[in-house]
Structure 1
Amino acid sequence: MGRRYQDLRVWQAAMEMAEAAYALVAGFPDSERFGLVQQMQRSAMSVPSNIAEGYGRGGDVEFGRFLKIARGSLFELETQLIVAERLGYGSRSDLEPFIEKVFALLSGMLRKLEGA
């Protein structure tokens, strides 16, 4: 655990995804400001935040637990993106590549931790 969490590729990808999510919801209608916009922002920020928190806990078991929480938040964001698309606020293609990349990196880290 000698590296900083900011050096983790999964954290970097999650930050890029969060930025993209914030950019996407900026174009949502004002009526969603306290609904879907807030939900998507919270889910998007939860992913890199949980990666950082888990890393800061200092142990593989705790880190793995927080990576799973981050993965859950990623699924929440994906679900909210589907709702947004159904409501005509955007397209899944706006965030899906980010979500897929973060999912792959999270899965790889979890496999590595569970194999350790």
Structure 2
Amino acid sequence: MSGYRKLDVWNEAHKLTLDIYRVTATFPNEEKFGLISQIRRASSSIPTNIAEGQGRSNNKEFANFVRIAKGSASEVEYLIYLCYELGYLNKIQFVNLNRQIERILGMLSNLISSLYKYTKS
């Protein structure tokens, strides 16, 4: 098993990506190349950047990729809200996805702090 798959934050981000793919499968067809594509790319960017960063040679590079993942997570946070406001997500879906992304954002922040501490020591 690859090292990144052992990270709790990667597992949470992967689960979120799967959930995003599932809920967007029910979105209107007219959003296929717009909102569906954008939120899927942004959500999959989170675990992808964690995996790529973990494969780098040092903690400083890893932290940079985790920062990119955090930016993508912030993008997903907004897109979840937009989907809800447009009526594509019901209240339960919105609350569940929002809870997931908030947790992931916190985990990413903690990982960045941790990586920078090890970089300085």
TM-score of the pair, normalised by structure 2? 0.89
CA distance in 2, matches of 1:78, 1:101: 11
Residue among 92, 101, 104 paired with 2:103: 101
Distance in 2, matches of 1:50 and 1:94, equals 23
Q: Deviations over 1:46-66 (max 9, x none)?
A: 000000000111210100000
For 1:78, the equivalent position in structure 2 comes to: 77
Percent identity, aligned pairs only?
Answer: 37
The aligned length equals: 114
1:26 maps to what in 2? 25
Q: CA RMSD in A?
A: 1.2
Moved segments of 4+, more than 4 Å:
none
Paired amino acid for 1:22: Y
Show structure 1 runs of 5+ residues with no match.
Answer: none
- The separation in 2 between residues aligned to 1:7 and 1:111, in whole angstroms, is 19
Uncovered stretches (5+) of structure 2, i.e. residues with no partner: none
Q: Structure 1 length as normaliser, TM-score?
A: 0.93
CA contact (8 A) 1:43 1:74 kept: yes
The code of the aligned residue for 1:111 comes to S
